[in-house]
Each structure stands twice: as structure tokens, then as C-alpha cells.
Amino acid sequence: MQISEVLHDKKITDPPLLGDHLAMDLLNTEARSGDMVVDYWESDSDVLRWLRQNEISVVLQPGQLTEGELLSQAKALRTLAFQLISAFKQKQQLQDICKLNTYLHSYVSAPHLAQDGDGKLTITRISRSDTAASMLGQVAEAVAQLLVDGDATLIKQCEHPDCILWFYDRTKAHKRRWCSMATCGNRHKAAQFRKRKS
């Protein structure tokens, strides 16, 4: 399935996890195809599902948050991450790191022992606070870690003109050009082939 089909298919509700870094996948929860903006987060449930897909455990009690609170905080973190990562990539002075610290300081976690689907024991960390900001703490930590340890030259956006998905280029030669070879890479190859044939 092509990325444009993914972005326009109303049955597909989950953002692509193609970023090779949690901070990149955070940015990819909002995408664009042509002039159409697709926001994969329309409710608290969408954010919770995305957190679970990224193996972030959140314990949410009924009535713990007001409706839309997690969604609002998640979108604010995404906007902040976009600003910080864009500035970092362009080697500009980072503004608003204190806003990122708000998420980091609210993140109180504890180890949690559980069994996976195969019965194997695993240890994860779960948020032990009852605020939306703390539930997004691991995501904020991934953004902070990228800003501290990441290589700005490896933060890239897909080169396909209809795609703005981000990724962290972990390939050996650091020549990755596409969010996914199976989608945008193949679309580019097909377009080049058609161009040569005409």
C-alpha cells in the first residue's frame, strides 16, 4: 500500500511506525499527503493506543484525567518536539527546553514485572503519576535523549515529494532516503521507470 493510500484510508487509524526512533514516530503521528493533513490523534484513546504500540505502559484509572486532557498534552508535546528537533537539525539555538523539562520532571515511574505473550518475564517502566504530562514522560525522554546524543545529520524526512514522514537514519552508510522502501521508495522507482519509458 502506498503512503498516500495509507494517509487517505479511513480504515487505517494508526500512524506508521517507520521512524527508527520514538521521537521520530512522535512527529509521524501527524502526516501530510499533498495538501491534506492527517492527524492520527483525535482522542485520548488514539494517544493511549499509540503509547501501547510503542510499548509504553500507562495505567489509567477511570476519571483520572478529564476528557481530552491526554490528547491536548500529547499534541503540545508533539509541537514542542517538532520545534526542538527542527532547530537541532538546523544547528540553531534550542528554545523552550524548559517546556520539555515540564514533561521530564513530572515523569515518575516504577519498574513493573509482567509476562509477555509467550510467558517470558519482562520488566517495563510504568508511570506512577496521575497527570497527562507524566504519562508522556517516556516520549519526552526520547526527545531529550535525541537532542543530547543524536546526530543531527541522521535526522531526515522522506524525500518523496508527497511525504513528510521523519526517520532517524541508522543504516550503515547513512544513505536512507525514504520513510519506507516498500512505500515511497518503490513509488519513486516506478515514477522514474515510467519517465524513462515515455
| Segment 14-61, tens digit of pLDDT | 888 889 999 999 999 998 766 788 899 999 999 999 999 998 888 777
Per the CB < 8 A criterion, the answer to whether 28 and 16 are in contact is yes
Sign for the CA dihedral angle at 49, 54, 55, 60 comes to negative
Per the CB < 8 A criterion, the answer to whether 77 and 140 are in contact is yes
- Longest Cα separation, the chain: 61
Q: How confident is the model at residue 7 (pLDDT cuts 50, 70, 90)?
A: very low
Question: Taking 70 as the threshold, does the pLDDT of residue 98 lie above it?
Answer: yes
Average pLDDT over residues 10-16: 67
Query: Domain containing 152: what range?
Result: 3-197
- Provide the number of structural domains found in the chain: 1
What pLDDT, on a 0 to 100 scale, did the predictor assign at position 187? Answer: 62
What pLDDT, on a 0 to 100 scale, did the predictor assign at position 198? Answer: 64
What pLDDT, on a 0 to 100 scale, did the predictor assign at position 64? Answer: 82
Per the CB < 8 A criterion, the answer to whether 85 and 27 are in contact is yes
Tens of pLDDT, residues 124-175: 888 887 889 999 999 999 999 999 999 999 999 998 887 889 999 999 999 9
List CB contacts of 195: < 8 A, sequence separation 6 or more. Answer: none
What pLDDT, on a 0 to 100 scale, did the predictor assign at position 100? Answer: 96
What pLDDT, on a 0 to 100 scale, did the predictor assign at position 2? Answer: 35
Lowest mean pLDDT among 8-12, 47-51, 86-90: 8-12
Average pLDDT over residues 68-88: 97
174 φ, ψ (degrees, to nearest 5): 55, 45
Question: Taking 70 as the threshold, does the pLDDT of residue 197 lie above it?
Answer: no
Question: Taking 90 as the threshold, does the pLDDT of residue 110 lie above it?
Answer: no
- Strand 121-127, strand 109-115: pairing: antiparallel
CATH number at residue 20: 1.10.3300.10
